[in-house]
Amino acid sequence: MQKNLFLLFLISSFCFSQNPYPQDYFRAPLDITLIPSGTFGELRSNHFHSGLDIKTQQREGLNVYAVADGYVSRIKVSHYGYGKALYITHPNGYVSVYGHLQKFSPTIEAYIKKLQYEQETFEIEVFPTAAELPLSKNDIVAFSGNTGGSGGPHLHFEIRDNEERPINPLLFGLDIQDGVNPTIKNVYAYPISKDAHVNKSREKQKLRLVALQNGDYTVENIEAYGKIGFGIEAIDRQDLATNQNGVSNIQGIYNGNLKFEMDFKRFSFDETRHLNRFIDYEHYKNKKERIQKLFVEPENPLSMYTNLDNNGFINVEDSTSSVYKIKVGDFHNNNSWLTINIEGKQASEMKAKPDSVTPYFIYAKKNNELINKHISVNIPENTFYDDFFIDFKVSNDTLSLHDDIIPVRDNFSISYDITGYKNPEAEKLYIARLVGYRNQYALYSQTYKKENVLTTYTKTLGTYALVMDTVSPKIKPLNFSKGKWLSKYRFLKVKIEDDESGISNYRATINGKWILMEYDYKKNELTYDFNDAISQETENNLKIIVTDNVGNSSTFETLFYRK
């Protein structure tokens, strides 16, 4: 026991000596036991998670505290993303971020509501000065919620440095209980060079994982030759919850030499999309498993690679025995090891998978233009990481532009010349991406119109089509009916829906005066709070106009009475 304690002391002092971040400066943002439903750096759709998701006991409305002295430097309210979010700048230069909030503290709520009414908008972003909303550590700044793109009540919490780079909040000493080793779910070997093979195949090989008694892993011995890389699918759990979260550190060690290390301590938002270069994107799209590659291909600027030798690739020689070990660790230094024994053996004949050739070749470093009849695709240089044969087909108004199995770095554009359409049809057209097994769902893709050309900008390959939306949005009162007395009501709730292109904007007034209606896209609800006290009248005219993305609009109007 003594020895273990000493070891623990050694390990923790080692960690702290490497940790440049202030300890005990920030308190926890909640006053409950911190249990994460998402960890820093974990793999999400097109990005690395930039904070810690803290479980809030399946509830909303928990007190959210200022983690240190400072001032509110930014308030952002959006339908999607972080929903209602608060940013606090601290005297030491760090910024703490609180997302998916239900509401702000009364002072901050009054501050932002005044601006929402002045600008007549629910979605808003403001940057108060240091003098406007100063705060002390422990002040209640907000209440936890589920707003924006949140799939259940939780607090999204971040700490950023003075260059807006998110840092793992746990590096500041927040207390999370974690004695659970990461789980390795799958391991793959990738033959890279032309002469390389794994188990006599030129294709990526799934290796059969064997879990050992002590929690570590091995695989059946493999036979290989040439330039090889490895990839794993791994997750981590913390104590007190079964959530599958991200790991914090991954290493690849070949014959005792560190070839690869990735460490998720800090990154910048400019690089977060390169997650798609880090994972096996095609595998993810086909199998929904995120394989993290323990090798680095060209055009991968991620800053989280802390050690690389030969970009993580190994060269297996003929008639050799070698060992590749993978170490996966969480933030609390719980580690899982995987051992791969490799027999080096040059293979005589191997069939390489032929490239699927199409008439259209994309040079990643060049501007590429694809045109067929009335549809054109403009792909600027560096839209893709690699050169490849792209699948490009046009049939009437349907554009097949490859499958979504190749990562895209930045926007490319798709344009339709709609001269063939006449008004009123032409006015109701938009560009949609078709999804689903039979392409049965049309997702609106933000469409811009200039004379007879519709253009959309996208980062997703796949099938696109011109779709017509002639149906206006639906507006339906939820907790009241037309012409009634609503004296005891605190809220007015209305359901708004649009079938095709989706809701673009809405505007609500009482007796001609704009009222703030908060939009919850997950519930398709608009909510007005009578405490905003916009009308003191007994007879009130409520009017709501909802417009969809091609400009169809609907108006709901009623009288109600209040005293």
Q: How far apart are CA 268 and CA 52, in angstroms?
A: 16
| Among the listed residues 547, 420, 381, 384, the one whose alpha carbon sits nearest the alpha carbon of residue 472 | 547
Side-chain half-sphere exposure of 288, counting CA atoms within 13 A? 0
Closest CB to Zn ion among residues 40, 392: 40
Closest CB to Zn ion among residues 156, 259: 156
Q: How far apart are CA 431 and CA 398, in angstroms?
A: 10
User: φ, ψ for residue 55 (rounded to 5)?
Assistant: -65, 145
Contact yes or no for 430/549 (Cβ under 8 A): yes
Closest CB to Zn ion among residues 36, 191: 36
We find the least distance from the C-beta atom of residue 148 to Zn ion, in angstroms, to be: 10
Distance between first and last Cα of the chain: 72
Q: How far apart are CA 366 and CA 30, in angstroms?
A: 50
Closest CB to Zn ion among residues 155, 222: 155
Q: Give the interface segment with Zn ion, choosing from 53-61, 64-72, 73-81, 318-326 (CB under 5 A).
A: 53-61
- Alpha-carbon distances, residue 9 vs 16, 177, 265, 420, 508 (angstroms): 10, 17, 22, 75, 61
- By beta-carbon distance, which residue lies closest to Zn ion? 156
Reduce the DSSP state of residue 190 to 3 states and report it. Answer: strand
Closest CB to Zn ion among residues 133, 167: 167
Q: How far apart are CA 57 and CA 63, in angstroms?
A: 12
We find the least distance from the C-beta atom of residue 53 to Zn ion, in angstroms, to be: 4
Q: Give the interface segment with Zn ion, choosing from 50-58, 79-87, 231-239, 449-457 (CB under 5 A).
A: 50-58
We find the least distance from the C-beta atom of residue 100 to Zn ion, in angstroms, to be: 8
Closest CB to Zn ion among residues 156, 202: 156
Q: What are 7's two structure tokens? A: 């070891």
**100 contacts Zn ion (rule: CB under 5 A):** no
Contact yes or no for 486/494 (Cβ under 8 A): no
Closest CB to Zn ion among residues 158, 469: 158
How many residues make contact with Zn ion (CB under 5 A)? Answer: 2
Closest CB to Zn ion among residues 53, 498: 53
Instruction: Give the contacts of 377 (CB within 8 A, at least 6 positions apart).
Output: 369, 370, 371, 392, 399, 401, 412, 413, 414, 415
We find the least distance from the C-beta atom of residue 256 to Zn ion, in angstroms, to be: 38
We find the least distance from the C-beta atom of residue 92 to Zn ion, in angstroms, to be: 23
**55 contacts Zn ion (rule: CB under 5 A):** no
Closest CB to Zn ion among residues 176, 414: 176
Closest CB to Zn ion among residues 120, 164: 164
Q: Give the interface segment with Zn ion, choosing from 16-24, 52-60, 426-434, 480-488 (CB under 5 A).
A: 52-60
Specify the DSSP class assigned to residue 18: H
We find the least distance from the C-beta atom of residue 425 to Zn ion, in angstroms, to be: 43
Closest CB to Zn ion among residues 188, 267: 267
Q: Give the interface segment with Zn ion, choosing from 26-34, 51-59, 342-350, 465-473 (CB under 5 A).
A: 51-59
Instruction: Give the contacts of 451 (CB within 8 A, at least 6 positions apart).
Output: none
Buried/exposed code over 219-235 (b: 16+ C-beta within 10 A; e: otherwise):
beebebbbbbbbbbbbb
We find the least distance from the C-beta atom of residue 57 to Zn ion, in angstroms, to be: 17
Q: Is 17 exposed, middle or buried (CB count within 10 Å of its CB: 0-12, 13-18, 19+)?
A: exposed
Report CA Rg, the chain: 28
We find the least distance from the C-beta atom of residue 99 to Zn ion, in angstroms, to be: 6
Specify the DSSP class assigned to residue 291: P
> CA dihedral in degrees (114, 115, 118, 124; nearest 10)?
-140
**53 contacts Zn ion (rule: CB under 5 A):** yes
| Among the listed residues 266, 263, 72, the one whose alpha carbon sits nearest the alpha carbon of residue 164 | 266
Closest CB to Zn ion among residues 266, 325: 266
- Long-range Cβ contact pairs of 129-132 (< 8 A, separation 24 or more): 129/71, 130/71, 130/73, 130/89, 131/71, 132/71, 132/72
We find the least distance from the C-beta atom of residue 146 to Zn ion, in angstroms, to be: 12
144-203 positions binding Zn ion, by CB under 5 A: 156
Q: What are 501's two structure tokens? A: 């292109």
Residues that bind Zn ion (CB under 5 A): 53, 156
